[in-house]
Structure 1
Amino acid sequence: MLRTKVFAVPLVVSCAALLAAMSVAAQSPPSALTGMVSAQEDGATSPRRAGAMGTPMEGVLVSAKRAGSTITTTVVSDAQGRYAFPAGRLEPGAYAIRIRAAGYELDGPASVHVSGGQPATLDLILKKTQDLASQLSNGEWLMSWPGSDEMKQNFLSCTQCHGLQPIVRSRYTAVEFAPIIERMGRYAQGSTMARPQLRPNTHGGGFASPIRDDMSGAGREGERPVQSSRVMQTADYLASVNLSAGRWRYPLQTLPRPKGKATRVIVTEYDLPRPETLPHDAVADADGHVWYADFGTHVLGMLDPKTGAVIEYPIPITKPGAPRGSLDLVFDTRGDIWLGTMYQGSLARFDRRTNTFQTWGSPTYMDRDEARIAMVMPIHHDVDGQVWIGGDEEYQVDIRTGEWKAIDYSTGLPAAFRAPLSSYGVASDSKNNFYGMNLNGTYIIKVDAKTKKVTPYPTPTPNSGPRRGHMDAQDRLWFAQFRGNRIAMFDTKAETFREWPIATPWTNVYDALADAAGYAWGGGMNTDLVVRLDTRTNEMVEYLLPRATNIRRVNVDNTTNPPAFWVGNNLGATLIRVEPLE
């Protein structure tokens, strides 16, 4: 039965070091703002007051934001401790300066005035921080926590909605933790601590305790039943890593600062107009605009990076009372935008020529509490008129007739095959065959578009947790291994895999894709690191972002040289562009 609606949408509107630095400066392009970053030694008189420099520091992120602006630009200090903002990157005006360097903070507020003439100079003095815990990323907390990696893997689900800071700073006992753990299951994925959204199934039956009897992750993400017998084990562990004993009973560990090529980058953050925005998916179009899907509000937005201006379009509500927010955002060959509207239960298409939405409701979206449409794959619907869907179930949707066909994962499989199959991310090849990424297991799952035959391909790394990915022009699927902590590629024609381990533990890559210049990109939810892989040399560079980010969907703008990386900050309501300088 055809379920389609069309909506009109309104617009809402030392000497050697000094010589080295001078040499680098002589070779560098003109700068708008430059200076040295150095560390104050413990117990020493403040270099700022004494008029002397401390030890030069490499890998310090220096961010500048002009008063009244919505754009923040960040560069990284080099091996001589020198940082430089290229001319043209900072408009004239007064700028506030912040830094990111684990274990350090500024020795006082820093600001500078940039003019359109001579470059401004500002040397920065850093001191040891008195609050290291506030600087730790989720990955650094996981590094610090006692116990096996297998144990800590269980808590990756926590960081899908919030960071680990609230847990480690709490003072709950194990007994007090138990009902809190169960309550977490009542919230939809698009919730934040400031704006929680209850699942339609408010008794929480769709929640799984983070600790399970096995590491398979069997069942669908967000829909495994509560294992009450495991809740207290979870609570016991969390009470052992928080402040219930008055202090942390383990040393705090941090990752090293960036070095070498990882310092050769410019990062630009664009504030979005609503501070509650969760830009889960951010994708650049052919004109350089960046579109984003809000995970917690029913809004589709567009950023013009040239001006910082943002336009937002309300997405139609198709299931009143259900949690709001969308996840996957995909362009088709016409340039139209397709969205998965999560608990609203509909597939949505935005016509950019008319600024109108069209929606297709799933067969049972009005009848079932847990009906979700998370992922969409319309790229090759011109082949056969079919769009693939991932959510509470996976579907093939005929957009001409409105017919939805659920994928039967047993089709063509021997009876002896017992692994439960489901897909998180979805992709399609040039023939519009379906490829599902088995987050709760270890497979890339092919479904033939015509015969519906299912072929599961196990990744070389067991229990890798394939999460999201994207097909390239050669029908190779580049994807993220969330638990395996790898970027991977599956050649759908040769039926072979390649995997590249991420050097930094607990990155937990969420998504991966290839650009037009021979690089593959990924990013993770826990370390604030953007990873660029040279697929020809296997060199991997990890670029640290200026703030806690919780990276989800990753994207590249292939119209720039080299391609620029884009991601939404789900913890800071910003869109972020990463531009490597080499």
Structure 2
Amino acid sequence: MPTESPNVGPLRAIFVMLAIGIALFLAGAMPWFHTAKAAPQEVGAAADPLLATDDLQRSLRLDNYTIVADSGAGRGEAIYFYKCWMCHNKYAKGGPYLQDLYQRTKLVSGEPVTEDSVSAKIKAGGPGMPAYRSTLSDTDIADLRAYFHSGKCCVEGEKPPANPWYRAQTNKWPVQSSLNGGATGVVRIRSGDSPEGVGVQLVAPNGVRTTVYTDGAGKFEFPKMQAGSYTLRIATPVPFKPYRRDSVSIDDATKLGEIVLERVADSDNLPASAALEAQLSGAEILWNIPGTAEEKATFQKNCSGCHSWQQVFRNRFDEHGWSLIVDRMMHFSGTAIAVRNRAMSDPDAEYTLLVKWLTRVRGPESHDAPLRVFPRPRGESTRVVVTEYELPQQLLALHDAALDAQGNVWFTSHKTRYVGKMDPKTGIFTEYTLPLTPGVMPGTHHAEIDKNGIAWISENWAHQLNRLDPKTGEVKQVRIESNVPLNAPSFGNFTLDADGFVWDARANKITKLDPTNGKVVKEWPLQTASSYDNAISYDGRYWGGSGPSQWGNTVEI
């Protein structure tokens, strides 16, 4: 069912235009807000003087859970999505489902359901629940309670929250397609440091962001853009203070003059600030955190397959809390129903190492050392244009992107029923909703667009292949046989050959499937459990490869 996207919210797609070509990616992102608002304080910390940063800094909004709203039930929904959903969703076999929580008389513990008892339970945790007293502040918990009171709980992917910062539909504005010929300027560092590799950004009235990078002399040049009023800012200012100018008039090769940046600190050691850490990449945070090469390599091996490292490091748990979380991540498969594949009591040296290390570096009493950042891009690496698009819904948990013959970018959503396509010339999205499968978590994994423009989309929780006709919105579904239960991951990655057959690699075999009925046409043995991706080369050969770093097999037939 197609849906037009009116005033709804972001995540981000990144349109990278190099001199040699154009590459498109979709990635998660945060909303764009006009006015700066104070973010919640860190748990147990005084107000951070560096926290009043540019409110367009999406990474800080992600860390502060202000990606749906600045406060109240909307912010509580984001906290629930990141902190509660994993164990309390309606498909899980673990924690109780929290819908209509305040209409109940008692908690599972037997205590009456009150504001105080709910807050106390969140802070203290329990035998199977981490204690959030060091991760969530009183403000966080109040917003979470507001979400429980709102009647909208709980996040199940059927209706993700709208984001008012998706403006491409209402503020129609052409997106640039060139690489140069637009506004120019120069960045200077007051301390005399090299200005090379600084990202300078223009934000258009439709919310689309275009970033270019300075050369060795600090000069930058934007693509030729639609004449109008933009916001000029430094995309990721660290180690410098934020810089932003609103209502900047752009018309062809406008001269923007000089941008003078000031360092946050006099040395390369930056204050251990949440606002600054939010601007660091996961690799930079890992580099800054204490630990041995073995500890960090073990973390990289086990915690890289599904989410960013920032999702881990923004938490503070005691050893009991980390033991539960690492056990859930390492010893279960699946997202919703969580099928245990290793007993918690089984000896696991890597599990024990990670729990001890995370407790030491991200425990309630741990203290961060001054931060340092990686070197900025240099030379040829600065010759890039990055364009970010707002998506029409929030909390989509984007998974894959695909291109069709018209140049539209398709996205899949790992935890909702929504899929869609974006016109990169306008940033306007057209969305489609897939039929819900009773008792099964909605969510899509991979997409392939065939030569006729039909979108083929996998649902790895429902073990289904969807055939979506973009012209009519008609969806046809076929079940793909699996030896795992529904709501556990199965049919996800696949590819199409020139004749339209589906190729998949799971359960120690490569399978060629008929897309009209999901039936097996032919099978080949596979020496590893699965291939995380599949491809058919131009000469008709099948290729497969592994995913997370602990594997490493490739296949060719």
TM-score by structure 1 length? 0.57
Aligned with 2:492: secondary structure? Answer: strand
Residues 165-564 of structure 1 aligned to structure 2 (within 5 Å): 165-184=310-329, 198-201=335-338, 204-206=339-341, 230-248=350-368, 252-317=371-436, 319-364=437-482, 367-370=485-488, 372-382=490-500, 386-391=501-506, 394-400=510-516, 402-404=518-520, 407=523, 409=525, 420-429=528-537, 432-439=540-547, 440-447=550-557
Deviation at 1:312, TM superposition (A): 0.3
Structure 1 consecutive aligned stretches of length 4 or more whose deviation exceeds 6 Å: 185-189
Residues 288-316 of structure 1: CA distance to partner in whole angstroms, max 9, x if unpaired? 22111122222221111121111001122
1:166 and 1:359 map into 2 onto residues whose CA distance is 34
- Is 2:277 aligned against 1:133? yes
Q: Is 1:144 the counterpart of 2:288 in the alignment?
A: yes
Distance in 2 (alpha carbons) for counterparts of 1:236 and 1:361: 43
Match of 2:225 in 1: 89
| 1:91–1:144 CA distance, 2 compared to 1 (3 A) | same
CA RMSD of aligned residues (A): 3.4
**Aligned residue identity for 1:11:** T
Q: 1:58 offset after TM fit, Å? A: 0.7
* C-alpha separation in 1, matches of 2:209 and 2:456: 30
Within 2, Cα distance between the matches of 1:431 and 1:260? Answer: 37
Instruction: Tell me the percent identity.
Output: 24
Task: Confirm or deny: 8 A CA contact 2:417 2:435 kept in the other structure.
Answer: yes
Query: Is the 8 Å Cα contact of residues 302 and 330 (structure 2) preserved in structure 1?
Result: no
What is the CA-CA distance between 1:161 and the residue it aligns to? Answer: 4.3
Tell me, in whole angstroms, the C-alpha distance in 1 between the residues paired with 2:438 and 2:348: 32
Q: CA separation of 1:141/1:405 partners in 2, compared to 1, >3 Å: closer, same or farther? A: farther
Q: Is the 8 A contact 1:105 1:128 kept in 2?
A: yes
What per-residue deviation string (whole Å, max 9, x for no partner) do you get for residues 357-411 of structure 1? 22220224795553521111113334xxx3112456653212355423684536x
Structure 1 residues 299 and 188, CA gap change in structure 2 (3 angstroms): farther
- 3-state secondary structure, aligned to 2:551: coil
Report if aligned partners of 1:339, 1:348 keep a CA contact under 8 Å in 2.
yes
Measure the CA separation in 2 of the matches of 1:392 and 1:371: 12
8 Å contact kept, 2:179–2:222 = no
Contact 2:183/2:250, CA 8 A, preserved across alignment: no
Report the CA distance between 1:72 and its aligned residue. Answer: 0.6
Q: Equivalents in 2 of 1:30, 1:109: separation in Å?
A: 22
Rounded Cα–Cα distance in structure 1 between residues aligned with 2:449 and 2:292: 43
Following TM superposition, by how much is the alpha carbon of 1:188 offset from its aligned partner in structure 2, in angstroms? Answer: 7.8
Contact 2:419 2:432 in 1 (8 A): yes
Higher-RCO chain (CA-CA 8 Å, sequence separation at least 6): 2
Q: Deviations over 1:331-376 (max 9, x none)?
A: 2233322222111111122233443222220224795553521111
In structure 2, the CA distance between the partners of 1:245 and 1:431, relative to structure 1 (3 Å rule), is same
Q: 1:32 to 1:378 in 2, by over 3 A?
A: closer
What secondary structure sits across from 2:303 in the alignment?
Answer: helix
What is the Cα deviation at residue 425 of structure 1?
0.9
Distance 1:392 1:135, change over 3 A: farther
Question: Which of 53, 62, 71 is 2:208 aligned to?
Answer: 71
Alignment partner, residue 571 of structure 1: none
Q: Provide the C-alpha distance between the structure 1 equivalents of 2:213 and 2:390, rounded to a whole number of angstroms.
A: 21
Unaligned runs of 5+ in 1: 1-8, 14-27, 42-53, 190-197, 210-224, 411-418, 448-582
Higher helix share: 2
- Structure 2: give runs of 5+ residues left out of the alignment: 6-177, 265-270
